[in-house]
Structure 1
Amino acid sequence: MIDARRLRILRAVADHRTVTAAAAALYLTPSAVSQQLAALEQETGHRLVERGARGARLTAAGEILLTHANEVLAQLERAEAELAAYGDGVAGVVTVAGFATGIGLVIAPAIAELAASDPGIRVRVQDAEGDASVPMVLDRQVDVAVAVEYRGAPREDDLRLTRVPLYSEPFDAVLPVGHRLASGAEVEVGELAEDVWIGPYPGNPCHDVVVLACEYAGFAPRLEHSSDDFRAVVALAGAGAGVALVPRSALSGVGGAPGGEGGAAGGVGPGTGVVVRPVRGSAPTRRVFAAVRRGAEGHPLIRPVLLALRGAGRALG
């Protein structure tokens, strides 16, 4: 009989591509992971993992077993949820990982809502970049992820996860006040092709949005300045170092709305020397969703958290 714990190890190796990384995610030693994989291969009678200079990859037999592993592990999550519901003790801790803006916009309001509707549920929050929280869910480090759509993000039909859309928001152009386009009502991304750019580091989901928006406009941005902190991005733009595309919620304090002059939310005050302009046409967009391990969405502790998060997202319009 196949051990479900070994199926989790197989999935971790598939997700992380190396035995060492999978072991770190599962809080095991690499040797323990290798031993469990060997035992799983003995149980199934097939070679499941091939190791090479570039890491570990599943064999054809391993891919077949992984498909069933996703279904088995989802069913185990449902069993845990139903047993918890049977116990009817809706009290406990749910750990939620999210990026800074998402914490402010949906996680904090959800916690306030739960305090009134489900006082037995305590939410523990961990700050994680928009592309880091989903792997934390899959590795069972947290229960819920509030994440940003990014290149390589698990698809909506991914058998490992259940996703709940929360909100989406456009990116606005941030320009120095002396910029040639500062006086216009809107900005086309293509009009900034010759400018120096300020943006997040590669790996940050917002970096992908910026680069893709520029690619669609027919150019590659000349990213000379990098920061994952949008307050720093605004400060650099205000100093005349370049232009940027920034999610609107990160600029909620700039003159009160796109088109204003001032500082960004989160501690940057007025007079930063930038103007904010909406993007003409189809603006680049940040899409935010919540994710849980498939089958866990019905857990009596997790379900109210997802509902509160969805409600907070809807309140944003």
Structure 2
Amino acid sequence: MMDRRDLQYFLAVANHGTVSAAAAAIYVSQPAVSRRIAGLERKMGVRLFRRMASGMKLTPAGERVRELAQDLQNRQDRADGVMRAMRRGHQSFTVACPETTGNFFIAPFVAAGAPIADIQPAHPNEVYARLALGVDMAVNTSEPPAHLSRRHLASSPVFVHFRPDAPPAVSGGEVELAEAARLPALLPGHGSAIERIVRETALAGGIDLALARTTSNGTMAQAMAAAGHGNAVTIEPAGFGLQSAFLVHQGQRLAVHLHAGWEPDHYAAGELMDLAASLGLWMQERVPRLAGLDSGER
């Protein structure tokens, strides 16, 4: 049976690839790590690592043990979380989400007093997978997998941000995607929901996005727009002196939908359901305020 130290040392070597890097990561000596791994292999009666010039490579048996060890570590971390919450008298959760979602929604929600202790930024394609690694709740711009408990939180409109001296054809505070595509559209990339929605809508509508460019995030898109490189397309309000309009296609406003997901057998599933409900209500109040909508336009 692997004890807590076995888990810590084994996973450190498996994750970092060398004894020296593992030792540095967990603040122990290299000999201590080597002795622990050797002892674990004797106890289990199987080689877990191949010792190579480049470092420590998991054997097939080691790969299997890694899955089990990570699961045990996650369970221990979750049990520790339960005990900490009991001592504090209240819950405090970790949320995984894309970076923009964290900065734009989750961090301000924490500042408003939400019981969230940490945010783990993740690529949109990896957000829900973080639940298997000990994260309590995932917030993402795609729907959760079918096995998860879920809640739709809010819908955030997509904006076009432009320099006041070079506006696109704005009508009623809106810009058609076909019109926006006449100039370089600066889109947040890295799998962002904004880029996906804009490109899918353009493809379905036969709109040429040949001038579109991908940036690292919405802030960079707006900075480039302010520098005269095109118009930014984001869900964040305008910065850098830019002006805004809603991005529409054939009169319909484009929007990003946000969802929460969590494991149905989580020790605090009821509290997570309440947290998702509170987050959803908070988002639904925040989005129209930031978008400049009154209650009649929601």
TM-score over 0.5 for the alignment? yes
Residue 188 of structure 1 corresponds to 177
- Aligned residues: percent identity? 24
Contact 2:96 2:138 in 1 (8 A): no
Give the alignment's TM-score, normalised by structure 1. 0.56
Q: Which amino acid aligns with 1:207?
A: H
CA contact 2:221–2:233 (8 Å) conserved in 1: no
What is the count of residue pairs matched by the alignment? 258
Runs of 5+ consecutive residues of structure 1 not aligned to the other structure: 115-120, 124-142, 201-205, 252-262
CA 298–97 in structure 1, closer or farther in 2 if over 3 Å, else same:
same
Match of 1:126 in 2: none
Separation (CA, whole Å) in 2 of partners of 1:154 and 1:51: 34
Which of the numbers 145, 148, 161 marks the counterpart of 1:174? 161
Does residue 145 (structure 1) correspond to residue 145 (structure 2)? The answer is no
**Counterpart in the other structure of 1:207:** 190
**Is structure 2 residue 85 aligned with structure 1 residue 90?**
no
1:235-287 Cα distance to aligned partner (Å, 9 max, x none) = 431443123321x2x21xxxxxxxxxxx43xxx45xx3x43332537957374
Structure 1 position 315, deviation (Å)? 1.9
Structure 1 residues 24, 104: closer, same or farther in 2, change over 3 A? farther
Gapped regions of structure 2 (runs ≥ 5): 141-152, 204-208, 285-298
CA deviations on 1:163-197 (whole Å, 9 max, x unpaired) are: 344845454333445355555834438963x7545
Counterparts of residues 71-110 of structure 1 (less than 5 Å): 71-81=71-81, 83-84=83-84, 89-90=88-89, 102=102, 105-110=105-110
Matches of 1:239 and 1:39, distance apart in 2 = 60
Cα displacement (A) at 1:77: 3.4
Shift, 1:64, TM fit:
1.9
Distance 1:170 1:24, change over 3 A: farther
Structure-2 residue corresponding to 1:59: 59
1:285 paired with 2:241, answer: no
Larger Rg: 2
Taking a change above 3 Å as real, the CA distance of residues 51 and 153 of structure 1, as seen in their structure-2 partners, is farther
Q: State TM-score, norm by structure 2.
A: 0.58
CA apart distance, 1:160: 4.2
RMSD (Å), alpha carbons: 4.9
Specify the code of the residue in structure 2 equivalent to 1:285: V
The alignment partner of 1:208 has SS state of: coil
Contact kept, 8 Å, 1:145 with 1:291, in 2: the verdict is: no
The letter for the 1-side match of 2:159 is D
Paired amino acid for 1:46: V
Q: Assess, with a 3 A threshold, how the Cα gap between structure 1 residues 189 and 170 changes in structure 2: closer, same or farther.
A: farther
Using CA pairs below 8 Å that are at least 6 residues apart, which structure has the higher relative contact order? 1
Mapped partners of 2:139, 2:210: distance in 1: 30
Q: Partners in 2 of 1:179 and 1:78 — Cα distance?
A: 52
For the residue of structure 1 that corresponds to 2:225, the secondary structure is helix
Higher helix share: 2
CA change 1:66–1:161 in 2 (3 A) is farther
Partner of 1:315: 282
1:276 aligns with 2:250: no
Aligned equivalent of 2:233: 245
Distance 1:287 1:101, change over 3 A: closer
> Structure 1 residues 104 and 233 mapped into 2: Cα distance closer, same or farther (>3 Å)?
closer
**Using the alignment, how far apart are the partners of 2:258 and 2:21 within structure 1?**
28
Distance 2:96 2:132 in 1: 19
The aligned residue for residue 139 of structure 1 is none
Q: Are the equivalent residues in 2 in contact too, given 1:95–1:144 (CA < 8 A)?
A: yes
* Residue 102 of structure 1: how far off its partner (Å): 3.2
- Identify if the C-alpha distance between structure 1 residues 103 and 277 changes in structure 2 by more than 3 Å, giving closer, same or farther: closer
